[in-house]
Amino acid sequence: MGQITSKVSELDWAAVWAGARERLRKELGDAIFDAWIAPLGLVSAEKGDVRIGAPKPFAKNYVANHYAARIERSLRAEGGEPNSLTIVLAPVKPVLVTAPAQPAQTYRAPEMETAEPRRSISNRILHPSQTFESFVPGAVNEFAFRAARSFAEGETGEIGLLYIHGGFGFGKTHLLNAITLEARKRGRRAMFLGAEDFMRQFLGALHRKDTLAFKDELRAADLLVIDDLQHICRSSATISEFLHTVNAFADLRRRIVVAADRPPASLEALGADVRSRLSGGLVIALGKPDRTTRLAILKARSDENARTRPAGALPLDVLERIADVEDASPRDLVGIFTKLATYADLTKKPVTLDVAEETLGQRNVTGRKTSIEDIQKKTAEFYKLEMRDFSSPQRSRRVARPRQVAMYLARELTMRSLPEIGKRFGGRDHTTVLHACRRVAALCAEDKAFKEEVEFLKEVLSRRGEN
């Protein structure tokens, strides 16, 4: 880049660089900073010609093309007046840094790492539209909404842990996203990650023997936000680390927000100590919205849609008819609305009550067939198991085989995706569900008696859906 001329002041370039790094962390966010800026080191600053070292050629070129100007501005903001700034390849020990017009002073920059930059723990991209302003509070979720907002604004006093639980599609992730956005807007370092991200990153650090870096990055946050905690119940080491994290945040007087599909007492695989710790926080349930709230959600979505796709507007009587669906979660309501609005937008035909009734009728027929809970209940009944066995980590054949059958039936009789099915079976991933389906299909081809069992269950559940 071009040369910049100015008078070079007598400076402690080590201090200037340290200040510039902190300024860049705030500007760029933890994820970008940890990936590209953290591995850099101050190599030299002779006569104001600043040289910043990168550990790899790719990192050197990328930083030079994308972040050199920002680095220079940050150096100037911290009082530095570089004549020039150059990004160099420096996988070796740094050289001396000497400030001009001063007795020779020595600064040894941190030794450059030769490995690729470590990825940040949290790589989740926040949804800019999932804010507190776009959340529609109602009778069953107003308490959770107000508590979440208060947490984000730092006004909850001595309460250090907020635990929100509720069914799929009830708005938990929306609230967590809003909390993170609001906290960051207020200058707080908020980290948002799913329980599976926590587990994967911790086990990866354990494998690399780098758990200290994992702990340091996690505990550097002012606010830690964790979604889908039920998915963490598969590793004793991860559960132990999660408990240590909760305790550490309490000791540091920092805050944690957790969301799950059930209350702490029902997360049996977590252990009594973790359940007790979580229950000691502010625990709030999100329920199904009442009709007034359902209609408010639909009106809000309709107003938003009218601004971007006027042809997809829905009349009030159609919105009211959709709001009559008592068993619909907010996500279900948005799904029905989107289908009808898309129909109106693409066909340029108005959505009448008849069209809405047809769509809802299709949903109802499917809905009676798509209850994974019904499948689990009937399968548990048949094989003399408890419902909770399907979500447990048990792998004994007595439990594993019926669990595979229930997964297979869920895929055959519902419109749910593999990841959605996995979530309802203790947070298992889609590959586990796919393996179960293939295994049951293979056994049906090999074992006539087993096939009759599966066909019997399928017939019973199909008849149940028609009633």
- Whole-number Å distance between alpha carbons of 28 and 131: 21
Give pLDDT, residue 362.
61
For tokens 């040289």, the residue is: 51
Q: Above pLDDT 90, what percent of the chain?
A: 18
CA pair distance 463, 290, nearest whole angstrom: 30
pLDDT at 258 over 90: yes
Q: What is the mean pLDDT of residues 258-287?
A: 89
What pLDDT sits at residue 382? 86
- The pLDDT tens digits for 223-252 are 999 998 987 866 678 888 899 999 989 888
DSSP 47: T
Q: With cut-offs at 50, 70 and 90, classify the pLDDT of residue 102.
A: very low
Dihedral over Cα of 205, 208, 211, 213: its sign: negative
Average of per-residue pLDDT across 183-192: 89
Average pLDDT value for residue range 199-215: 83
Asked if pLDDT for residue 181 goes beyond 90, the answer is yes
Helix axes 236-251, 211-219, angle to 10 degrees: 40
pLDDT value at 96 more than 50? no
Mean pLDDT over the full length of the chain: 81
403 pLDDT above the threshold of 90: yes
- What token pair was written down for 268? 């049996």
Residue-level pLDDT at 91: 60
Residue 120 has a pLDDT of 60
Contact 45, 18 (CB under 8 A): no
Contact assessment for residue 290 and residue 140, using Cβ atoms and an 8 Å cutoff: yes
Residue 85 tokens read as: 């700034």
- Which residue, chain included where needed, has tokens 């796709």? 309
Report the pLDDT averaged over residues 179-195: 90
Is the pLDDT confidence value at 5 over 70? no
8 closest CA partner among 39, 35, 58, 47: 47
SS3 191: strand
Mean pLDDT computed over 336-351: 83
pLDDT in tens, 44-90: 888 888 999 988 877 787 788 788 888 988 888 888 888 888 999 87
* pTM (2 d.p.): 0.54
In this prediction, residue 60 carries a pLDDT of: 83
Question: What is the band of 284 on the pLDDT scale with cuts at 50, 70, 90?
Answer: very high
